[in-house]
Structure 1
Amino acid sequence: MPADVKPYRHRFPRSIIQHAVWLYHRFTLSYRDIEELLFQRGIQVSHETIRDWCDKFSPNLSKELRKREPRRGSRWHLDEVCVKIKGVKHWLWRAVDEHGAVLDVLLQEHRDTEAAKTFFATLLSAYETPTVIHTDKLGSYGAAIRDLHELHDVEHREVISTARCNNLIEQSHRPTRNQERSQKGFKTIKKAQKFLDLHARTSNLHQHTRTTVTAETRRNNQRTAFQTWNEAVLLAA
């Protein structure tokens, strides 16, 4: 279906909707920022409508982008950070491979063994069993690995986060923190998880578009990222 076709019950064409959603997840922008950027192009749309677009189309876009991701590495780096939702502590669990690509993110209320097992189960349902797992000193990881039969033969390495031994995963948290500050905190677990899922997939998509390579290689990577995004949009919106 062409990009200028209007999705059902929407008065704006798909090209405008997908661009607004892409802007929100690609850069640290607020809904009002995107409203102003679109208005500068002659497109009058409210920030509430942009919020609705992101909420409605994010799950399908995340699913379609995940399908198009290349095979990931076999060395996992895991970490969890505290995220407050309406003043209540929650824990954002994140896993990346040895190349820094985000494997998955999961927002949970606890950081105990059951929470670790839930996160491992999510990862194992989508990826092959890793060869090595890097974690911090949190005991829940070791307990979960011992309880899960699929991970019995996996090498588990505990590192010291404060010594930047797990720097790949520490760096991966930065974009999420920036966006969290931009949003002045997440409002609900459900909406936060929707945002984080697509934010992770978008980060992976553009992982190699800002690196120390030649300008020609960088532009080719950007073209590939844009093409993949457009393909996912055609099926998601």
Structure 2
Amino acid sequence: MTDRKPYRHRFPISIIQYAVWLYHRFPLSYRDVQELLQERGIEVSHDTLREWNIKFSPLIAEELRHREPRWGSRWHMDEVCTTVGGVRHWLWRAVDEHGVVLDVLLQRHRDTEAARTFLARLLGEFHVPETICTDKLASYGAAIRKLPALQEVHHQQVISTARCNNLVEQSHRPTRQQERSQLGFRKLKRTQEFLNLHARMTNLHRHTRTTVPAHIRRNNQNQAFQTWSTVAAGVA
């Protein structure tokens, strides 16, 4: 079997979705996934794995996002510096009180306008929270004052060294692991797509594992993977 035929004619959807799931669920490179599949008798190149991720990741992330419930009423927000293609960017992240990722966004700046953009993006997807927890970065307070919907929200500023915002700070760790496994991020659009699906997949396993009864967790996971299969089959 050669690589001359299109991959969608050679591999069943179950293998494609499994490969994409491995790449986004664990800190693995394309070559790591390639070796895991080879151990199961599946010969696929790392270039083909990259093509699968480019084609399927945005569609699956969007579908899973629409099937998530509206989460908690307390937002924890933080930003970390990362490099994409040799250019410094800021990765803005928001999680709820359960540690579930609400959204991630890469931006070039760390100012008031960047904070306002991220908050407006969150308000477009979630209900207005009761409390927003941030570090001492002044841009958060200035951005909150500029958004009328957040005027009544309690803004709690915490000290990073006191670990009061530990939920969101710990949420950065899987991203750092993925960044190391990929030897750094290279393209802005692909990195944003990767982080979107990575957050959705992390939520699927973390939230159902820690806060949902077992029988509901099984139903949610079955529904999520049925959705995954449906979306993958529709675009293959």
In the superposition, the TM-score normalised over structure 2's length comes to 0.90
Distance 1:10 1:90, change over 3 A: farther
CA distance in 1 between counterparts of 2:50 and 2:58 reads 14
Contact 1:61/1:233 (8 A) holds in 2: no
For residue 98 of structure 1, what is the aligned residue in structure 2? 97
For residue 225 of structure 1, what is the aligned residue in structure 2? 221
Whether 1:234 aligns to 2:233 is: no
CA distance in 2 between counterparts of 1:14 and 1:117 reads 40
Contact 1:65/1:229 (8 A) holds in 2: no
Distance 1:91 1:100, change over 3 A: same
Q: Which amino acid aligns with 1:137?
A: K
Counterpart secondary structure, 1:157? strand
For residue 175 of structure 2, what is the aligned residue in structure 1? 176
Query: Where in structure 1 do 4 or more consecutive aligned residues deviate above 2 Å?
Result: 7-11, 208-213, 219-227
Distance 1:128 1:182, change over 3 A: same
Shift of 1:145: 0.4
CA distance in 2 between counterparts of 1:192 and 1:146 reads 30
Contact 2:115/2:140 (8 A) holds in 1: yes
Distance 1:178 1:226, change over 3 A: farther
For residue 117 of structure 1, what is the aligned residue in structure 2? 116
Please give the per-residue CA displacement for 1:183-208, whole angstroms capped at 9, x wherever unaligned: 01100111110000000000000004
Q: Which amino acid aligns with 1:229?
A: F
In proportion to residue count, which structure has more helix? 2
Shift of 1:38: 1.1
CA distance in 2 between counterparts of 1:80 and 1:129 reads 20
CA distance in 2 between counterparts of 1:231 and 1:83 reads 32
Distance 1:222 1:22, change over 3 A: farther
In structure 1, runs of 5+ residues without a counterpart are 1-6
CA distance in 2 between counterparts of 1:98 and 1:9 reads 41
Distance 1:12 1:110, change over 3 A: same
Aligned pairs for 1:46-195 within 5 A:
46-195=45-194
Please give the per-residue CA displacement for 1:173-229, whole angstroms capped at 9, x wherever unaligned: 11001000100110011111000000000000000466599xx94x97367425412
Counterpart secondary structure, 2:10? coil
For residue 32 of structure 1, what is the aligned residue in structure 2? 31
In the superposition, the TM-score normalised over structure 1's length comes to 0.89
Distance 1:10 1:119, change over 3 A: farther
Aligned pairs for 1:205-216 within 5 A:
205-208=204-207
How many residues align structurally?
228
In structure 2, runs of 5+ residues without a counterpart are 1-5
Counterpart secondary structure, 2:16? helix
Aligned pairs for 1:2-13 within 5 A:
10-13=9-12
For residue 18 of structure 2, what is the aligned residue in structure 1? 19
Counterpart secondary structure, 2:206? coil
RMSD: 2.2
For residue 3 of structure 2, what is the aligned residue in structure 1? none
Please give the per-residue CA displacement for 1:75-111, whole angstroms capped at 9, x wherever unaligned: 0000000001233210000000011110000000001
